[in-house]
Chain A
Amino acid sequence: MAFLRKRLSKPLFDALEKAYLAGKASAHLCPVATPVGGGISRDEWATRFCEALMVAAQVVPNRTAIAESNSALLGDFSFGLYGRMCPHGVGLEADAFSQFFSGEWGDPVKFTHVEAPPDGLLRKTGVLFFCADRGRGLKAHIDLWNGEKCLGVPFRPATELFFWELHRGAGGSSFLMNAGGGNPQEEEFKKVVANFVPKEEPPPKEEQDDKPALRLAYEAEVAKLKDLIPAMRKQGFDDEAIARKLHADRRALGEKYKAQTEPKLLETIYKRNLEKYGDKLGPTVEWLRAKGKTWEQIMDSATRSGGKDLKFGK
């Protein structure tokens, strides 16, 4: 019997930042995560961080859906190996996130005995884990770093400081260069390829408030496809193989994120695709080739999304 490990892909920093800043406190009302009248010592920063992570990583469509979930959300991943969760699968401890991310995203960039933000963090964005053996308050803390400051609490001295870089959306640099801590590109590439199928969880719900986040997430995943090009070339794939892979992935992403499109408009696009290309999901590779598109052009279009909106005032 084969056991498959479900991995949590790195979210886009923009999406995580947006979800994190959306609520200044944990919205997760749960007897364990938010005990009434004491009970257990909890790290609300970790809970708040976890909520944002689950929204940004598309595990749930929004924060309020966490408490309505019938499954242990992070429990579906390997989080249970590292730390405690509430019954809904919300991680409760910062140090558990540190271990979890090392397992999911590779070794972090590590700093020791820091009193102020190291130069190596400037203009980078991602997740910071603080571990201190002195001082008041929690000895471990998980936070977001926007290139200049932490978004939760002010930067604090740490005995050990771990950093996982997460890129912003449009124009972000290479996802494959994002491993941090010396993880080989190949390992990251395998992770990308292994994860580039629609996830098992249901697609995000249609909800007005979530559309911008959904669009951001979609654009981020489309942009990530570009990183497959050098990685696949390095592995010896030719342009045709790469173009076919990217074309198929772009279709899959459209299906995964179809909730970002109004149902009526979605039907219109499907109908139009069928009439224009003979395929509900858009032109096939063969159709594009027959129209004179080169493999390079197919790769290029498949890996780019959106752009500035075509309307005034944007």
Chain B
Amino acid sequence: MENEAAAKPVVIGDETDDDLRGKLLAVLEDLGAVQKSSERGVGGSQEIETTVFEVKGKKLVVEAETYEGLSLTGDKALVEDIQARIKEKT
């Protein structure tokens, strides 16, 4: 099991890149991800959208935040696998 406390967000691109979002969702679908929760809010300049998935029994947090980008937080191997698959879709 991954050490969530140690997991750091990996920024994979721009927070408003719809093309990237589409590819990410397609990859997660390919991996059989199950969406566990999703919330979106705006506080000051920060628009934050957080969606939690379960992928192959592991928790993956996908987050988009103003100025910060689109990030993945979770098991290192899983995050790297997702990044590689996104790249393949390019």
Contact = CB atoms under 8 A, between A and B. Distances in A.
A283 B66 CA distance: 10
A-side interface size class: 35 or more
B40 A309 contact: yes
A282 B22 contact: no
A266 B64 contact: no
A280 B44 contact: yes
A302 B39 CA distance: 21
Contact of A250 (B18, B62, B66): B66
A36 interface: no
Interface in B4-30: 15-18, 21-22, 24-25, 28-29
Contacts of B17: 307
Interface string A265-281: 11011101100000111
Given A288-B67, A304-B16, A247 B45 contact: yes
Given A308-B22, A309-B40, A254 B64 contact: no
Interface in A121-165: none
Contacts of B54: none
Nearest to B51: A310
B48 A283 contact: no
A256 to B, nearest CB: 10
Interface residues of B, number: 28
A5 B45 CA distance: 28
A301 B14 CA distance: 9
A251 interface: yes
A33 B4 CA distance: 60
Which of B16, B45, B66 is packed against the most chain A CB atoms within 10 Å? Answer: B45
B42 interface: yes
Interface of B: 15-18, 21-22, 24-25, 28-29, 35, 38-49, 51, 62, 64, 66-67
Interface of A: 218, 247, 250-251, 254-255, 257-258, 260-262, 265-266, 268-270, 272-273, 279-283, 288, 293, 298, 301-302, 304-312
Given A310-B64, A312-B25, 14 more contacts: A262-B39, A269-B44, A269-B48, A270-B44, A272-B43, A273-B46, A280-B43, A281-B43, A298-B67, A301-B66, A302-B45, A308-B22, A310-B49, A311-B25
29 contacts: A218-B42, A250-B66, A260-B41, A261-B40, A261-B43, A265-B41, A266-B41, A269-B43, A269-B48, A272-B43, A273-B43, A273-B44, A273-B46, A282-B46, A282-B66, A282-B67, A283-B46, A283-B67, A301-B15, A301-B67, A302-B45, A302-B66, A305-B66, A307-B17, A307-B21, A308-B21, A309-B40, A310-B21, A310-B38
